[in-house]
Structure formats: C-alpha cells, structure tokens
Amino acid sequence: ESQDPDYPTNPGMTFLGTFQWWCLTPERLPCFGTNSTGLIPPLETCITDFDSTIVQGGNLFSTPLFDNGLYCRWARGVLMVSTVNFTAGEYIFEVMARSSDGRVSTKDVRITITEMVVPQILLTIDNPAPKYPVTAEISISGTVESELDPTIALEFSWRILVFSSNPLYDGDRAREAESDNDPTTVYLVDKMVYID
C-alpha cells in the first residue's frame, strides 16, 4: 500500500502516481532484461487464478500465473515476481513512486532467497513512530502468514540491523565505472549495507 504523505489516500487505496521497479541479483546484475541498473522492462498486467489466493505482507491476493513471463503488475503499485529461476542469495528490489506533480520517492528491500523451506512472517512495529529516542523501547510483533507443520516445534527470533555505509565500497571506483560510457562497466559493490 503506497501513501502520499502530502495528499493521503483512503485506507486500502494506492496514490495516483506512477511506479518504476528495479531488481538486482546477488551478483548485482539485472534480474530481468539487460539494463545494468536492474530497471525492470515494461510490466504486463498479471493473469491470475481467482480460485487460488496467497497472503503477502498482510494482504490477500489472487495467485498470479506466470505463463507469459517471470514478472507482472498485479495492480497499480503491486509487482509480482516468479522466483523459479532465482538462485540462493540476496536480491535487491527497488521501487520509485512519482506523483502527478513530479515529486519522487524511492524504497528498496533486500530479499534473501534460500533453498530451505522457511516460514513467511510479517513483522510489524507496535506503536510505530517516525523517530525514537535512544532510551525508548521498540516492540516488534510477528504474524506467521504461511502454513506450518504442527508436529515441529519452532522458535522464532529476529534482530534489528543498521543500514549504514559499506566499508568495502570504493567511491572512486564507483565514479570511474559510472563515468565510463561502456554499459558493461558496472561497479557491483553496494554503497550501503545492513550491519549488526
């Protein structure tokens, strides 16, 4: 659900604007298409199975059928991706929302693909606030969204990481690759990473 803080939409609605999506593989190559930035080629509307549903991020969706490709637009502002050809590792997805008056906002998420079966859990911050003082306790609740084997005892834990400058990032090499007119020259080290 995307909200414009200056002109909020009603709950469950998506703001009137446009979206662009990017995806990079664990090797920081494009997931789809050939654009070195990972820009996903134009989206077709998903064909879905209305008799089958999935829950993602606390929302119920009819299941997309990836007969004609590996990604599609489920609704305006909603990207669906088939991970059937993904390999294990950390993928970066980014979305840019642009309002009709030209304001732009971006957000990225890092998703780790694994060969193990893992439960799908939605984490929410209890009593969210824009900022917290260092003395405030932050409480997080988890809701299991996938079916679990009732015969297996599970224990869940999570940790909060800081999204910070990557000590391995070399700004000079990144600028050099960016200024090179060769589209195959790409600096693949992330500028920002999650750190304990």
pLDDT(95) > 90: yes
Q: What is the mean pLDDT of the chain?
A: 86
Q: What is the pLDDT of residues 163-193, one digit of tens each?
A: 899 999 999 988 888 887 776 677 888 888 8
**pLDDT at site 60:** 84
Q: Rounded mean pLDDT of 48-53? A: 90
Q: What is the pLDDT of residues 124-169, one digit of tens each?
A: 889 888 888 989 888 888 888 888 888 888 888 778 888 899 999 9
Which of residues 153 and 93 earns the better pLDDT score? Answer: 93
| Confidence label for 102 from pLDDT (cuts 50, 70 and 90) | confident
**pLDDT at site 194:** 85
pLDDT(7) > 80: no
Nearest-angstrom CA–CA distance, 104 and 24: 21
pLDDT(5) > 70: no
Q: What is the pLDDT of residues 64-82, one digit of tens each?
A: 998 878 999 988 888 999 9
